[in-house]
Amino acid sequence: MAINKDNRLKALHCCYTAGTGGGKSVAVQYGGMMPKSPCLAIFDPYEDYLYITGSDTDIGFAGKRTYTYRTRQAFAKAFMNAWSSKKPFRICYTPANPSREEMLWFSLLMWHASDGQRRLDMVVEEVAKWCNTTAKEQSAYGECLTGGRKYGLVVHSVFQRSTEVPKTTISQSPFKIIGMQETEDDAKRMAKECRLTIDDMAELTPLNYIKKHPGLTGQVERISLEHVFD
């Protein structure tokens, strides 16, 4: 059960949206929303954050080593060990058959572990794939978004198309990092969130984003992560 409720904690949830190759996974790592030394668990169905010793491509999370587990049992054990060590960690759950059930199991584990005295970051990749509504998300994942703030939970939701995810994902994420959009409908949806135009969205290219800060009139910042690969 989530413990040590602290109503003073601010919601830091962030959503990341861009078409494939738009740079969502890069933004999760370098978009400025993640602590330098995180307690971080990732639902990583496509191994975007895999670490293989000596590899040029599988370099973990922001260049730091990650540990990937493929069964519930192994992941839960590793996560509980890491979380109770009180030291930073980056661990990934990559189930053999990713599904809504697996994503909800992962979310429930995060919810139960959350503790208002310590920040816990969780990433859910490809949210649209695991949700079957664009209305309210009533599930463990929805609970992490709506109730998690008070318990130190920070949810990073990653998806390609904003028109395909629950409205809870967008409305409960005060930070939004928006990359190159796939369709006019998605561009419209995100333009509205930022009080920008669809033309502003059309200008976005891979690894260039608009970062929307909290609030109706929150700051709208343009960021480029092209330098990450220089």
Ligand X SMILES: Nc1ncnc2c1ncn2[C@@H]1O[C@H](COP(=O)(O)OP(=O)(O)OP(=O)(O)O)[C@@H](O)[C@H]1O
The residues of the shown chain that bind ligand X, judged by CB under 6 A, are 18, 20-26, 48, 160, 206-207, 229
Residues 17, 178 contacting (CB under 8 angstroms): yes
Q: Which does 23 bind (CB under 5 to 8 A by kind): ligand X, Mg ion, none?
A: ligand X
Q: Which one of 7-15, 16-24, 66-74, 187-195 is the stretch in contact with Mg ion (CB under 5 A)? A: 16-24
| Binding flags for Mg ion, 20-39, as an x/- string (CB under 5 A) | ----xx--------------
In the complex, minimum distance from the CB of residue 199 to Mg ion, in angstroms, rounded to a whole number? 26
CB of 71 to ligand X, least distance (A): 23
Q: Which is nearer to ligand X, 115 or 164 (CB)?
A: 164
Least gap, CB of 91 to ligand X (angstroms): 19
Closest distance to ligand X from the beta carbon of 160 (Å)? 6
Q: Are 15 and 27 in contact (CB under 8 A)?
A: no
Site stretch for Mg ion (CB under 5 A), options 47-55, 65-73, 82-90, 91-99: 47-55
Among 48, 102, 121, 193, binds Mg ion (CB under 5 A): 48
Query: 182, 201 in Cβ contact below 8 A?
Result: no
Q: Which does 22 bind (CB under 5 to 8 A by kind): ligand X, Mg ion, none?
A: ligand X
Nearer to Mg ion, 25 or 107 (CB): 25
Closest contact distance (angstroms) between CB of 143 and Mg ion is 25
- Going by C-alpha positions, the residue among 129, 123, 190 that lies closest to residue 157 is 123
Residue 129, number of CB atoms within 10 A of its CB:
17
Q: At CB < 8 A and 24+ separation, what contacts does 82-89 make?
A: 82/39, 83/39, 83/113, 83/120, 86/118, 88/37, 88/38, 88/39, 88/40, 89/38, 89/39, 89/40
* Tokens 């990937």 -> residue: 68
**What is the radius of gyration, based on Cα positions, of the chain?**
17
Residue 48 or 143: which CB sits closer to ligand X?
A: 48
Could you tell me the smallest distance in angstroms from the CB atom of residue 20 to ligand X? 4
What's the rounded Cα separation, in Å, for the pair 211 and 223? 7
- Amino acid letter for position 81: N
Give whichever of 24 and 189 is closer to Mg ion, judged by the CB atom: 24
